[in-house]
Amino acid sequence: MNALATPRRRVEPMIEGEYLFTARNFEQIATFLRAQTGIALTEAKAQLVYSRLAKRLRKLGIPDFDSYCEFIETSEGAGERNEMMAALTTNVTRFYREPHHFEHLKRNILPALIEKARSGGRVRLWSAACSSGEEPYSMALTLLEAFPDAGRYDVRLLATDIDPNVVAKARSGLYSEDAVSPIASSLRDRFLTREADRDRRMWRVKDEVRALIAFKELNLIGEWPMRGRFDVIFCRNVVIYFEEETQVFLWNRFKSSLTPEGRLYIGHSERIDVPGYVSDGLTVYKLAQRGGR
Ligand SMILES: C[S@@+](CC[C@H](N)C(=O)[O-])C[C@H]1O[C@@H](n2cnc3c(N)ncnc32)[C@H](O)[C@@H]1O
């Protein structure tokens, strides 16, 4: 080799694997995801990003991550940008996850809300980041257990998520035998029906429950079209993936979506330390100024 020639820079793979994946690719994907969803990826997540997106490259027949990153910047890549977001978000959820929240709702909050509805008031609950629906259906079952004729009053749930795939699954209300196991059998038999899906025994949430819930795509850091306030907001196990600045932005934003007596339920590893909230139990908050119920 000519000693005077400029040495060619070797592109170091960040992760060893079938497709070349560099630190620059990681940075580009992480920057895109943060801007679109608020989710902050640290380098510790590089392996996870690689393995989830390698499946996309394989499916699309794209040879490496440089080409993939170029593709998602183009207008033809719009659909793939959504697929990428869906692949990189964590959708883990289950019925009655963090059961103490449903107990709190049932004992401390629902009695007054039922009273409000019966006297002609408007009652709204929101599962913000509902994933595949287990959370809003658990809220609806808790409500219906205490207030079986809720559907005859002005009582509605909103269930939203950024990922269109999980919103579609939530809307369909179809779950495996295993998934519905946390639901008490009396409630399950009353509000779900058995259904066979390609030889698998499944359970479908009945229409009377689904009719209470509007499922919508919504980005928590994007525009919120809702105008009315909510008596109950569950925003659990999503803000944990955001950087602190985005968390603070959201906690402040929820203040103007809560009724003065409203409650905000958050995930077990999340905390609110912005002014204007006071604790009302383990990872349950209310607005400070009116003192709550
Ligand atoms: C781990 S799941 C939590 C589901 C449920 N809240 C629970 O606690 O079981 C997180 C959900 O947040 C959604 N998500 C992530 N970023 C979001 C954003 N910016 N706006 C709305 N939803 C988002 C994901 O698609 C995913 O379904």
pLDDT mean values, one per 10 residues, the chain (293 residues): 52 87 96 94 95 96 96 94 93 98 98 98 98 98 98 98 95 97 97 88 96 97 96 97 96 97 97 95 90 43
Point out which residues pair with 51 in neighbouring strands. Answer: none
CATH 3.40.50.150 in the chain: give the residue spans.
Answer: 99-287
Q: Which residue has the tokens 């103007």?
A: 256
| pLDDT computed for residue 199 by the predictor | 78
- Which amino acids bring their CB within 6 angstroms of ligand 1? 37-39, 89-93, 97, 129, 131, 135, 161-163, 166, 219-221, 236-238, 267
Ligand 1 center–CA 5 separation, angstroms: 52
Please name which of 129, 127, 164 lies closest in space to residue 143, comparing C-alpha atoms: 127
Measured distance CA(223)–CA(32) in Å, rounded:
18
Tokens 């359970």 correspond to 203
Best probe residue, ligand 1, of 33, 238, 250, 269 (max atoms within 8 Å of C-beta): 238
Which atom belonging to ligand 1 lies closest to the Cα atom of 86? 25
Report helix, strand or coil for 236.
coil
Nearest CA to ligand 1 atom 27: 131
Q: Which atom of ligand 1 is nearest to the CA of 127?
A: 6
Rounded to the nearest whole angstrom, what is the distance from the C-alpha of residue 137 to the centroid of ligand 1?
Answer: 15
pLDDT for res 141 = 98
199 is catalytic: no
Q: Given 52, 94, 118, 204, which residue is catalytic?
A: 52
Which pLDDT score, from 0 to 100, does residue 218 have?
97
224 and 257 Cβ atoms separated by less than 8 Å: yes
283 contacts 101 by C-beta, under 8 angstroms: yes
At residue 293, the pLDDT reads 43
pLDDT for 289: 75
63 CB-near residues (< 8 Å, 6+ apart):
19, 57
Half-sphere exposure for 269 (CA within 13 Å, toward CB): 6
Which residues are CB-neighbours of 25 under 8 A, at least 6 positions away?
14, 65, 66, 68, 69
Nearest Cα neighbor of 248 from 219, 277, 206 is: 277
Neighbours of 178 (CB within 10 A): 9
**83's tokens:** 């697929």
Residue tagged active-site, from 161, 163, 231, 280: 161
According to CATH, where is 1.10.155.10 located in the chain? 13-88
- The reported pLDDT for the residue numbered 142 is 98
Ligand 1 pocket test: which of 33, 88, 91, 131 has the largest number of ligand atoms within 8 Å of its C-beta?
A: 131
Of 83, 155, 88, 81, give the one whose Cα is nearest residue 118. 155
Q: What separation in Å is there between the alpha carbon of 165 and the centre of ligand 1? A: 12
Nearest CA residue ID for atom 3, ligand 1: 237
Q: Note if 190 is an active site residue.
A: no
pLDDT of residue 291: 44
Query: How many Å lie between the centroid of ligand 1 and the Cα of residue 98?
Result: 15
Tell me which of 3.40.50.2000, 3.40.50.720, 3.20.20.60, 3.40.50.150 is the CATH number of domain 99-287.
Answer: 3.40.50.150
CA distance 124 to 107: 17
Query: Six-digit token pair at 72?
Result: 């998602």
Ligand 1: atom nearest CA of 92 is 1
Mutate to test the pocket of ligand 1, among 33, 82, 89 (most ligand atoms within 8 A of CB): 89
The pTM score is 0.92
Domain 13-88 grouped into CATH 3.90.1150.10: no
Q: Do 103 and 284 meet the contact criterion of CB atoms below 8 Å apart?
A: no
- Could you write out the DSSP letters of every residue in 272-291? --STTEEE-STTEEEESTT-
Q: Are 29 and 40 in contact (CB under 8 A)?
A: no
Burial tier of 187 (Cβ tally within 10 Å: 0-12, 13-18, 19+): middle
CA separation, residue 202 to residues 140, 180, 226 (Å): 19, 9, 33
Distance 219 CA to ligand 1 centre (A): 9
Q: Which is the closest atom of ligand 1 to the Cα of 163?
A: 25
**What pLDDT is stored for residue 1 in this prediction?**
45
- Contact (Cβ atoms closer than 8 angstroms) between residue 231 and residue 260: no
